[in-house]
Structure 1
């Protein structure tokens, strides 16, 4: 991703959005963005990790104002034994 001064700004592969998982999956499919991981957020919405930052940039642009900024609460992962 570049800024107005053509400086490369690193972008995370993870994107948090205020929509449900099926909508995220559909949007990723529409934009040929490959999902690495996806989870429902406890407060609503979805966290999706894309395979690369270019795909993340496409999805951020596609969702626009539905992208959640800042920290979000996530479900703690527990290993089944």
Structure 2
């Protein structure tokens, strides 16, 4: 799903809610692309962050690689 929130905030919300993240990446236009590891986790985030969901297609980075930590 695509959310109109910064990646750090999405990560913090998922951690606080105990929702496991499969993939997360910033969007070029702002916001975050999030993939949860379970459907239940995704449903929970959709409910909690309904006001921040980006509807429709968004542009993503072609070959995004998260930075080394």
**TM-score, with normalisation over the residues of structure 1?**
0.75
CA RMSD across the alignment: 1.4
Runs of at least 4 residues off by over 3 Å:
none
Unaligned regions of 5+ residues in structure 2, if any?
A: none
Higher Cα radius of gyration: 1
Change (3 A) 1:21 1:78: closer
Higher helix share: 2
Change (3 A) 1:77 1:50: same
**TM-score, with normalisation over the residues of structure 2?**
0.87
